[in-house]
Amino acid sequence: MSRQTTTFNAFTGMSQLEKKAIVDFLCTQNKNSREAVQEALDYALKRKPSFGGFVVVTMQRQRIIAAIVVNRTGMEGYNPENICVYVAIDKHCEQPEAVLHELMSKAIHYAQGNLAMHVEPDNPALQLYQEMGFRAKYLELRLDKERAIA
């Protein structure tokens, strides 16, 4: 079965129906916050003040089976120019590794500059990302200010 991939950005725009479908998909697949996903899409499409970015969506049989949201950071050198904010593959997708590889390849090709992403250590896609050239550069530390010891 053939797949169709579409890229959205500030110039192509995205209809409200397309945006709702992508938000629903990302929230269902990864249990993401609806507000956070909408904000990342608004940043990518420059509907909010931002450096922009893009969204790549793969469809099969008229339904979304994969999506990635990339935001431009406005930085270069010490931080990559782009960050993959959300990546999701339909849990029932046939050939998920092939679909993910195709999606990531399109995002890598489309991005202007380097890419970064946050990946949980137990993410089943980690090996594929590493095979595609992604490398761990830093250990991320986060401070929850409400629980911080002064």
Supply the pLDDT for residue 144.
85
What pLDDT is attached to residue 73? 95
39-93 pLDDT, tens per residue?
999 999 999 999 999 999 999 999 999 999 999 999 988 889 999 999 999 989 9
Architecture (CATH level 2) of domain 4-131? 3-Layer(aba) Sandwich (3.40)
pLDDT at 44: 97
Burial of 143 (0-12, 13-18, 19+ CB in 10 A): exposed
| Verdict on whether the full-model pTM lies above 0.85 | yes
Is residue 1 very low, low, confident or very high in pLDDT (cuts 50, 70, 90)? Answer: low
Q: What pLDDT, on a 0 to 100 scale, did the predictor assign at position 148?
A: 78
Contact 108, 68 (CB under 8 A): no
pLDDT tens sequence across 119-144:
998 999 999 999 999 998 888 888 88
Domains of the chain by residue range: 4-131
Region 7-36: mean pLDDT is: 95
What pLDDT was estimated at residue 150?
66
